[in-house]
Amino acid sequence: MNPKLDKSKRECIHNPELRLQLQIIDVIVALVFIGLCILALANYHAIKEAITLEIEGYGLAGLLVMSFILEFVPQFINPHWGLLVAIAAGFNIYLSTLVVIIGGIIGSLVGFNVGQKYGFQFICAIFNPKTLKKIVEGWNKYGGIFVLVSALTPVQYGLLFSEHWA
């Protein structure tokens, strides 16, 4: 067992009032996220155009920042689109790919560290101990597969291709 997880378990505070407040905030955040996803779908062309303009305007530095942000913040669009735009805009293929890889790795690692530091306390406050135990067991067993699928998720390709098929 990971010693950090054990330490987090000791720090776990089961406060029903706090849990209720966090659940309300969670529902609000989920609704905002769903709203943003709908907005992103509705304004898909505008967002693509904005990303294209940013990459063309700021060059590889913009690509680096964009890939960092898109990997750090869990959301709808992956940095692959930025890479495609950069290559289509005439940037060096090897440099663009390298910059997106560096930005993506840094963003993923920062996100991982934030989750490792605050994630357990957060879900600890939201779920009751029984559910929490199931989540931790499931995550320890299948977590690698979830992370792998999220790294290779074909959502963005599906959107890209469905747009061309439409």
Partner 1 sequence: MSRRKFLIWGIIPRIISYCTVGALAALGIGFL
Rounded Cα–Cα distance for residues 83 and 100 (Å): 7
State yes or no: residue 104 binds partner 1 (CB under 8 A): yes
> Residue 144 and residue 138: Cα distance in Å, rounded?
11
Distance CA 75, CA 69 (A): 10
> Does residue 83 belong to the site contacting partner 1 (CB under 8 A)?
yes
* Residue 89 engages partner 1 in binding (rule: CB under 8 A): no
- Residue entry with tokens 């029903």: 16
Six-digit token string for 7: 């330490």
Q: How far is the CB of 157 from partner 1 (least distance, A)?
A: 9
- Distances in Å between the Cα of 29 and the Cα atoms of 9, 40, 63, 72, 110 are 25, 16, 28, 17, 21
For partner 1, the binding residues in 106-125 under the rule CB under 8 A are 108-109, 112, 116
Determine which residue in the list 47, 60, 65, 87 makes contact with partner 1, applying CB under 8 A.
87
Query: Which tokens go with 57?
Result: 């305007």
- Restricted to residues 129-148, the positions that interact with partner 1 (CB under 8 A) are 139-140, 143-145, 147-148
User: Considering only residues 27, 28, 46, 105, which one is a binding residue for partner 1 as defined by CB under 8 A?
Assistant: 105
SS (H, E, C) 123-146: HHHHCCHHHHHHHHHHHHHHHHHH
| Residues between 59 and 78 that touch partner 1 (CB under 8 A) | 71
Residues that bind partner 1 (CB under 8 A): 2, 71, 79-80, 83-84, 87-88, 93-94, 96-97, 100-101, 104-105, 108-109, 112, 116, 139-140, 143-145, 147-148, 150-152
